[in-house]
Amino acid sequence: MSVEDAIGDEERKKNRYHFDRHAPDYRDRAEEITRELHAQCPVAWTDTHGGHWVASGNREVFEIARSAEYISNDHDVKGERRGYQGISIPAPQRGRGNRGGFLEMDPPEQRHYRQALNPYLSPAAINRWIPWIDEVVRACLDEKIEEGRIDFVEDLANVVPAVFTLAMMGIPIKDWRTYSEPAHAVMYTPLTSPDIMRVGQLHMAMQQELIRRLAEIRENPRPGLVNGLINAEINGENPPDEELRGVLGLLIGGGFDTTTALTAHAIEWLSENPAERDRLSRERDTLLDSATEEFLRFYAPVVGNGRTISADCELAGTQFKEGDRLWVSWAMANRDPAAFDNPDQIDLAREGNRHNSFGLGIHRCIGSNVARTVFKRMLLQVFDRMPDYVCDPEGTVHYETISVINGMRFLPATFTPGPRLGPGLAETLETLQQVCDEQRLAEPVTVQKARAKVAD
């Protein structure tokens, strides 16, 4: 770097803020840090983790995240292109050899993958599953309803998204635990934890299992996202297994812990605000949609994503250089007073809620319809069957850091016991597997349009 460049660099990075997204401090003081960043530098430079930009302002995030011509998601694990490091800052040790599916790709490849998967995940595709999802929720609640106590994370919010994601993929749903523990642990275990190696191994084992399933479905095709991927045309060819592994990991990572985190936070807040809970339950027909968006805004499960600047440019008033790393904070953009009145308050009826929790631009969360639907179906049955639940703050455990997901490990609660309505979870999953196979529910909506039929 020449002297001139160095001076230019100083000038470019004059808005500095010490921001460490992996530190517990960020979780503990998130609102304060967010306010400081908004007030001082909605696009800031931080020296942490090799040095990177942090975009927190709503307008700035909007402009930057949608500038596909200047930002890249590419994770060039083999050093074949420009060596970009994908969406994690710093790039995770365990992930160095793996690309995180199409979330760590740029168009046109990225677009081809999404086109292959959209017909499984569109609103019309997900609506077909509602009676099926309701049965999973019913069984989860039945397991606990007579006892009068439940852990909303372990017994409900961990289970339903996992079971449903596997069903859509075309993987046997009875295996949900094989995937759910590692997918959850990888999110709640801080990078600095002594447990990180063990969790990494668990995760590897899960990857192996996925590879086995991939081979199996290749041999004996069965409908689902995995089959859709095997037959996808990416730049005119079927994708190689090594790319598919990353994509399957992405589907698990995206499908499991995110909806869990959203649901747990909403249930916790509603326990602390029982009048609001009763109102939401009563006025669900008009309030449930806006309340869901508001919980998404307030408790953005994926707090942000990394990007790499792919060409020198000026965006949102900042000079970026090719190769700069950038953290785009969806969670902070959701709390910008310039975009939301009373951003740190939950308003179940909020209008014009242009939140960023599913990201913006071409990488918009492809599972957003899954998340919304599963969240709503869980909440409704909790309202109907455990209307007086009270969470126990003593037993509640939030993630120590919010590096990737702002999630919860435990959320125990008590409620007035009620009667069971049907068989328990294991038996229900057997029935639902049959329903799924016989009615070919995991086919894309282009092939199978009928709504799931589940006998009561």
Partner 1 sequence: MKVKVDQARCQGHTLCAMNAPEIFELDDVDGHASAVSEDVPAGHESHVINAVRSCPEQAIFVEDRS
For partner 1, the binding residues (CB under 8 A) are 62, 66, 115, 118-119, 121-125, 289, 293, 351-356, 358, 360-362, 364, 368-369, 445-446
Measured from the CB atom, the residue of 236 and 352 that comes closer to partner 1 is 352
DSSP 301: S
Closest separation in Å from C-beta 115 to partner 1? 8
Closest separation in Å from C-beta 82 to partner 1? 25
Q: How many angstroms separate the CA atoms of 212 and 226, rounded?
A: 12
Measured from the CB atom, the residue of 91 and 333 that comes closer to partner 1 is 333
Closest separation in Å from C-beta 341 to partner 1? 12
Closest separation in Å from C-beta 193 to partner 1? 34
Per DSSP, helices labelled H in 256-283 are 257-272, 274-282
Per DSSP, helices labelled H in 220-256 are 225-230, 241-255
Tell me the HSE value of 176 on the side-chain side, using a 13 A CA sphere. 26
Closest separation in Å from C-beta 21 to partner 1? 22
H-run or E-run covering 309: strand 304-309
Looking at this protein, which amino acid is placed at residue 28?
D
Measured from the CB atom, the residue of 260 and 353 that comes closer to partner 1 is 353
3-class DSSP assignment, residue 314: strand
Measured from the CB atom, the residue of 138 and 372 that comes closer to partner 1 is 372
3-class DSSP assignment, residue 237: strand
Closest separation in Å from C-beta 365 to partner 1? 9
Measured from the CB atom, the residue of 125 and 391 that comes closer to partner 1 is 125
Structure tokens at 26: 């960020």
Structure tokens at 219: 């041999």
H-run or E-run covering 126: helix 123-127
Closest separation in Å from C-beta 122 to partner 1? 4
Whether the upstream peptide bond of residue 108 has omega within 30° of 0, thus cis, is: yes
Which class for 439: exposed (0-12), middle (13-18), buried (19 or more C-beta within 10 A)?
middle
Closest separation in Å from C-beta 360 to partner 1? 6
Measured from the CB atom, the residue of 130 and 362 that comes closer to partner 1 is 362
Measured from the CB atom, the residue of 124 and 338 that comes closer to partner 1 is 124
Structure tokens at 430: 């057997």
Measured from the CB atom, the residue of 353 and 381 that comes closer to partner 1 is 353
Measured from the CB atom, the residue of 89 and 125 that comes closer to partner 1 is 125
Closest separation in Å from C-beta 136 to partner 1? 23
| Selection from 373, 446, 371 nearest residue 115 by Cα | 446
3-class DSSP assignment, residue 151: strand
Q: Which residues of 275-308 are buried (b: 16+ CB within 10 A; e: fewer)?
A: ebbebbbeebeebbebbbbbbbbbbbbbbbbbbb
Q: List 46's β-bridge partners, or say none.
A: 52
